[in-house]
Amino acid sequence: MSISVVDSRDKTAHSDPHHEDRANLAAIFRMTARLGMHEGVANHFSYAVSDDGSRFLINPFGRHFSRLRASDLLLLDANDEATMDQPNRPDPTAWAIHGAMHRNAPQARCVLHVHSKYATVLASIRQDGLPPIDQNTMRFFNRVSIDDGFGGMGLGDEAERLTTTLGDNRILLMGNHGVMAVGETIAHAFDELYYFERACETYIIALMTGTALRTVSDEVAEKTAQQWEDYVNRVGLADAHLRELRAILDREEPDYKL
């Protein structure tokens, strides 16, 4: 379940059973744009509102992340073959990738796909994941799936393949493409995406210095990764992160939840 941060005075929250999920998703669209992790009117986020993952919210085609509102999000059925025939439809690659993810990987309730700068750089070089050089990179030690079978834009077989490549991890580094982060909630998926981009930034800038990297042992890296998992779950880090992002938007861009 998503965290409860919707203002009880918002009448829309009482008329739409998915309003809280819509508002949380709209919030991370806005913040992703603020962080420069978007790609114009491309890229896409989705969140499953049914237990089997088949019904999900996703952004409509051609809308900039910085302008998305809760009411703009489409509610789709992953098994509806007529989805792309409707006038208000998602981007074709969004429908292919997220439809496949929600049909085949219902545990990935929230699916975030971007071409963020540093993760895409990592996806473009011969490097399997992130070496453990700081706490953020250690968070993802042996916890990143690598897709090295890029065969074109994410349509058809390309989309179906991604669902099996992800496995049990929450980050899929899409070789020659970008990154996908998943989570059981919107808060958890966004926290994964945010920290993965930060970790990639540290690593890429470290490479740019041209000096040797200070890596830790596999034992220390795994210990730190496990500590991260415990920390995120025990103190509610992801929920607190989303709560604070929404507090900022409530003050500065309150129309996101309309």
pLDDT, one tens digit per residue, over 95-122 is 999 999 998 888 899 999 999 999 999 9
**3-state secondary structure at position 216:** coil
- The residue ranges of DSSP E strands in 115-220, in sequence order, are 144-147, 171-174, 178-183
Mean pLDDT of 21-29: 98
Q: What is the pLDDT of residues 170-216, one digit of tens each?
A: 999 999 999 999 999 999 999 999 999 999 999 999 999 999 999 99
Predicted pLDDT of residue 154: 55
Tokens of 125: 């070089």
56/14: higher pLDDT? 56
Residue 10 confidence class, pLDDT cut points 50, 70, 90: very low
Q: What confidence score (pLDDT) does residue 155 get?
A: 64
What pLDDT is stored for residue 159 in this prediction?
Answer: 77
Interval 69-89: pLDDT, tens: 999 999 999 988 888 888 888
The pLDDT value recorded for residue 8 is 35
Task: Pick the more confident residue, 155 or 126.
Answer: 126
Q: Is the pLDDT of residue 24 over 50?
A: yes
What is the share, in percent, of the chain residues with pLDDT greater than 70?
A: 93
Q: What is the per-residue pLDDT for 2?
A: 39
Average pLDDT, the chain: 91
State the pLDDT at residue 106: 82
Q: Which residues contact 105 (CB under 8 A, 6 or more apart)?
A: 53, 163, 166, 182
CATH topology of domain 12-253: L-fuculose-1-phosphate Aldolase (3.40.225)
Q: CB under 8 Å to 241, separation ≥6 — which residues? A: 187, 190, 191, 194
- Higher-scoring residue by pLDDT: 4, 206: 206
- Please state the φ and ψ torsions of residue 127, each to the nearest 5 degrees: -150, 120
